[in-house]
Chain A
């Protein structure tokens, strides 16, 4: 079963239940810990693995084609802005990878439009979107149109 949960590590906090895009991480009623209730609807997306504060969730590849004896572990650190992977092959070889996940402190650079200037009527009547046209080319160039690019739409067979 793609994701599974180690009995002794899980404390039933439910972070995995909260994040699973497929709604398949549930809390077992008897043990009060998480489990994957529908392995064949699991994408191995690792959202639950990354969200688990106790590294209690792991993945065992799909039984139809993946032999036992491997592991792909991950540690995602929002504060550092990094993700670390360890790939362990069936024959014991190991590969490690480290990547950035963000360049800014979480949420700090997202605009709340309620704090920004209201768009003008001219902007409303134009084809421009928020922060355009500057955000398209980051210079003083305008929005491309059929006219500006010397084009027209013509019915028929053209390749």
Chain B
């Protein structure tokens, strides 16, 4: 018996030595050795490309000493975006974008698909967290003054990415096709319609019908899974390219970072890994503990008694619409868009205009307050307005008992 064990150990030991020797003897002892060894890369091709060199350069890139944990917000936003891409692709395997089948397919995903509930709720919670993280990232950049020249383009691209994230959420919000989704989208579209000149055009283009219908669902789905991802990837590449070219902005009040910090690998990659693990755990925890509830299937002729918000931006939007009317919503949107012009007026590297600081405080603090207020309130069902389809609804009949 002991003899057999010794022989087995000897065979395993020889196999391990041979594996290591083969690895060492491979054509290039670089980062790409392992995939090349397993046949995942073809040596002659990738040796002719500077992939390995670029990878080494990227990992060895040294970030300034002031880059710390708070600079991880941008990376967290990218992580959440990728989580949404992956979960979104998985959801699209089962989701059916038609007014007849959408609601049923969501029910199937939640109850009939293995871990479908987790995929959907991680997608939903990532949609909320990404807005918060992107705004926090934007606030960090704003209060660090990192939008000032020469990084104004990067700031503008970041703002465009925020808009794309909001559009992702807005178009995705309708897809469950339940009462809350249907009537929230109806109310927000009615609000957008009050915008002079463009409002009606935007709403007509988005709905594709006289009211929110199957045509609207198709358009929202196409925007959500086809059009917006391309725009988002293009903007992300541009955003990352700008950061790589211009470097991380120096601390506030200094024109240039004086000291060179640690290399990206392993210091910052390890930090990113830790942050990513925590963020993923938080997302999974939220998805498990607070799954997104589903209302009754959408009914264009019967508004629900109350609207339950399941997305941070809906909390803010409904709070604005219900408390300040359509123009409150429009004004706050314009306030957010006005942030794009800040680099034009605030160009000095070491000073800041107080009105610009006030603008940022109003936007970021206002968003936080509106979110908290909107989240606490349970909004009554929509008022049956002239532009909702309920006009055609017949009065409810109830018989005597």
Indicate whether A and B interact.
Answer: no
Interface residues of B (CB under 8 A from A): none
